[in-house]
Structure 1
Amino acid sequence: MNISDDDRIVMTLDAGGTNFVFSAIQHSSQIISDITLPSGAHDLRLCLNTILEGFEAVKAQLPVAPSAISFAFPGPSDYSSGIIGDLANLPAFRGGVALGPMLEDHFHIPVYIGNDGDLFAYGEAMMGLLPEVNNCLAEAGINKRYKNLLGITLGTGFGGGIVINNQLCEGDNSAGGEIWAMRNFTDTRLTAEEGVSIRAVQRSYSQKAGIDELLTPKDIYDIAIGRMAGNKEAALFAFDEMAVAVAESLANAATLLDGVIVIGGGIAGAYKLIASKIIDHLNGTIENFEGVKMPRLASKVYNIDDEAGMQHFLNHDVKEVVVPFSDRKVSYIADKRLPMGVSRLGTSQAIALGAYAIALSKMETYKELQK
C-alpha cells in the first residue's frame, strides 16, 4: 500500500491531558493547520463536546469529505471497539466511554482509535526507519528486505509497538506491545517503566547527586555532555542506568520478534548517550546452567545512526555453496543482523502517519470482506 498516492482524507487528533490538537492528512501530509482546543479533562461532557467541535472545525476546512477518523488515545482502552477505560491524564473518562461509536454516529464515517506506541511503530514501518533500511540495502546491492519492526518510545512512560510482516500487531485484547510491563532488569520488583521514563532519569540523577531537586531530563542531558554545570558523573550514571533497562527489555522483545528496532519519544533526544550502552548489552552474552556463555540474541544488533555501525551493518556475510548432487551454486547471508536507530519521522509525526496508514489499511480490508 502506497499511502503517499492515496487521495482519501483522514481526520486526526493528538490527545493530550491539557490540549487536543486536531488536523487532517492526505497523501501522507498534513493538509490544514493544527486546531488546538483545551481538553476539558475533568468534565466528560465538555471533553466529548470538545472532540466533536474539533473534528467539525477540521471537516469545515477540507476540500472534500473525509473518509475516516483515526487517532491515538490513552489507555487502558478496548481499541478495536473504540471504548475508552479509566484514564490518568483524562480523569473524566471512567467506567468505559464509547468514544469511537459516538464519533461514528455523529460523522457517519469509520473511526479507528489506537495506542500511541502501536501507531508510532506503524508510522515508522510505513514511512520511517523500516523503508530507509530497505532502501540502503537495495543501494548496497544486498538481496535482503526487513518486514518486522519493534518501536519503543521513551518519555513520560515506556511505550511500544510491534509490526509483523508489515502488519500492525495490536493483540487480541488491544494489549500488544505493552513493553512497559516487562520486569525491571536492575530491580526485579519493579516494572521496566520505572527504569525507563522521565521520572526514572530524574530520580536516578537526584539520588546519585545527593540532591532533592528533580531536574528535567534535558538539563540532565546537558550536564552529561558538559553543556551545563552540575554533577556530570551522576548525569552519565542516570542515562547509563536507563540504557540498561531499555536494553534488557529490547533483548526480551527482539528475541521473539527479530526485527528492526526504532527508538522515539522525548528522551530519544539523548540517543547518542544511550545507544552504545544499549548495543553493548544486546550484543552481550547470557549463560546456561553450566556457565557456558552464548550470545544474548541470535541476531547481532547495529547502531545505524553511527557511520561505522551502518557500514558494518551493510557488510553482510554473503556466502555461496554448492547444491548437493548438482553443479548449481546458491548464495545466502550467513549471519543474522538487526539495525537499530532513532525515529526518522519524529514521534508525533510517526504517530499521525501511523494513524493515517492504519485507517487506509483497515478500510481496504473492510472493502475486501464486503466483496
Structure 2
Amino acid sequence: MNIFSDERLVLTLDAGGTNFVFNAIKGGKAVLKPHGTPSYGDNLEKCLQTMIDGFEHIKSQLSEDPIAISFAFPGPADYSNGIIGDLGNLPAFRGGIALGDMLNNHFNIPVFIQNDGDLYTYGEALGGLLIDVNKLSEKQYKNLIGITLGTGFGAGLVHNNTLITGDNCIAAEVWLISNSISPDNNAEEGVSTRAIINTYNDAIETPDSTLMPKDIYDIATEKKDGNKAAALNAFKLFGKHLGDSIANLINLFDGLVVIGGGLTGASSLYMPEVMNVLKGKFNCGQDRLVHKVYCLDDEAEAKAFTQSNGKQIKVPFSDKTVNYDAEQKIAIATSKLDASTAISLGAYAYAIKELDK
C-alpha cells in the first residue's frame, strides 16, 4: 500500500483537549496550511459546531471534493460506529455522542475515527520507521509497535499493513498494563509527563507545581538552575518504566518499536535506561527478551542491526545448503516524524484502506 501515490483527497483533524487543527491530505501530504481553532471542550454544541465549521473552512479552499473525513479522537469511544464516550479532556462529551453520523449527515461522505496511538503507528508503518528500516535491511519486517509519549502513554500495533484494533477498538491500551517497578500502579503512572514532574518534586526540598518536563530537562542539561541529580533521576526512572512496558509489548507482539510524542526531545536522557531494561535479565538470570535489541538512534547499533550474521548450513541427507541466522533481532528508534504528521498519515491511510475494502 503506497499512500504517497494515491490521488484521493481526505479531510483530517488533529483533535486535542484545547485545540482542533484541520487540514486535507492527498497522496500522504497536507495540501493546505493547518487551520487551528479552540476546541471548546466544555460546551458540546459549540464544540460540535466548531468541528463542522473547521471542516467547511478547509473544504472551501479545495479545488476538488474530498472523498472522506478521517481523524483521531480521544477515547473512550466506539470508534467503529463513530460514537464518542465520556472524555476526560473534553468534558462536554458525556453519555455517547454520535460524532461520525453527525459529520456524515452534514458532509455526505464517509467518516472514519480512530484512536491517536493507533493512527500514529499506522502512519509510521506506511510512511515512517517501518519503510525506512526495510529499505536498509535484508530482512523485511512486517510488525510495528508504536509508542506515544506525552500527557499520557499510548500505543498502537500494525501487522502487514493492517492496523490491529481489537474487537472493541481498544487494542494496545498500554497505559493500563501492569507495572513491575511499581506494582500497585498502572504503567502510565510511570510513563507520563506527571511521572517526571512528580519524581523530580519528590526529590527536592521545595516542590514546584509550575514545573513542566521541559523545565526538568533544562535542569538536567544545565540550561536552568535546579537539582540536576534529581532531574536526571526523574528521566532515568521514566526510562526504566518505559523499558518495562516496551519489553512486555515486544514479547507479546514481536515487532519493531517506534517512539513519538512530545517527550521524544528528551530521549537522550531516558533511552539509555530503556535499553538497559530491554538488554537486561530477570533475577533468575533469564534474559528479558528472546530478541537481541538494537537502538537505531545509535549510529553503531543501527549499522550492526542491518548486518547479517547468517551462515550456510547443510540440509540433512542432501548436498544442498541454506542460510541460517540464529540471531532473532529487533530494533527500537525515536521517530523522525512529529506525532501530528504521523497521525495525519495514519488517518489518511486508514480512510483509503477502508474505502478500498
TM range (shorter): over 0.9
> Does structure 1 residue 278 correspond to structure 2 residue 274?
yes
| Counterpart residue number, 1:254 | 250
What is the rounded CA distance, in whole Å, between the counterparts of 1:108 and 1:171 in structure 2? 28
> Does structure 1 residue 66 correspond to structure 2 residue 66?
yes
What is the rounded CA distance, in whole Å, between the counterparts of 1:126 and 1:277 in structure 2? 29
What is the rounded CA distance, in whole Å, between the counterparts of 1:2 and 1:267 in structure 2? 29
Q: Verify the 8 A CA contact 1:19 1:37 in the aligned structure 2.
A: yes
> How far off its partner does 1:286 sit?
2.2
What is the rounded CA distance, in whole Å, between the counterparts of 1:34 and 1:307 in structure 2? 34
| Counterpart residue number, 1:206 | 201
| Counterpart residue number, 1:241 | 237
After TM superposition, the structure 1 = structure 2 runs for residues 129-140 of structure 1, keeping only pairs within 5 Å, are: 129-137=129-137
Identical amino acids, percent of aligned pairs: 51
Query: Under a length normalisation based on structure 1, what TM-score does the superposition of the two structures give?
Result: 0.94
What is the rounded CA distance, in whole Å, between the counterparts of 1:117 and 1:99 in structure 2? 19
Of the structure 1 ranges 328-337 and 76-85, higher mean CA displacement relative to structure 2 is found in 328-337
> Does structure 1 residue 232 correspond to structure 2 residue 257?
no
After TM superposition, the structure 1 = structure 2 runs for residues 158-197 of structure 1, keeping only pairs within 5 Å, are: 158-197=153-192
What is the rounded CA distance, in whole Å, between the counterparts of 1:54 and 1:364 in structure 2? 26
> How far off its partner does 1:312 sit?
2.0
Q: Which sections of structure 2, spanning at least 5 residues, go unmatched?
A: none
Which of 317, 321, 331 matches 2:323?
Answer: 331
1:309-366 C-alpha deviation (Å, 9 max, x unpaired): 112212331111111111111112220111110112111100111101111111111x
What is the rounded CA distance, in whole Å, between the counterparts of 1:66 and 1:166 in structure 2? 23
1:130-162 C-alpha deviation (Å, 9 max, x unpaired): 11111111xxxx2x1111000111110001111
Q: Which sections of structure 1, spanning at least 5 residues, go unmatched?
A: 366-371
Query: Under a length normalisation based on structure 2, what TM-score does the superposition of the two structures give?
Result: 0.98
> How far off its partner does 1:228 sit?
2.0
Letter in 1 for 2:289: L
Q: Verify the 8 A CA contact 1:118 1:162 in the aligned structure 2.
A: yes
> How far off its partner does 1:226 sit?
2.1
| Counterpart residue number, 2:265 | 269
What is the rounded CA distance, in whole Å, between the counterparts of 1:309 and 1:271 in structure 2? 16
> How far off its partner does 1:211 sit?
2.4
Alignment size in residue pairs = 356
After TM superposition, the structure 1 = structure 2 runs for residues 16-35 of structure 1, keeping only pairs within 5 Å, are: 16-35=16-35
> How far off its partner does 1:51 sit?
0.8
Letter in 2 for 1:177: A
What is the rounded CA distance, in whole Å, between the counterparts of 2:282 and 2:327 in structure 1? 19
For the residue of structure 2 that corresponds to 1:135, the secondary structure is helix
For the residue of structure 1 that corresponds to 2:264, the secondary structure is helix
> How far off its partner does 1:29 sit?
0.8
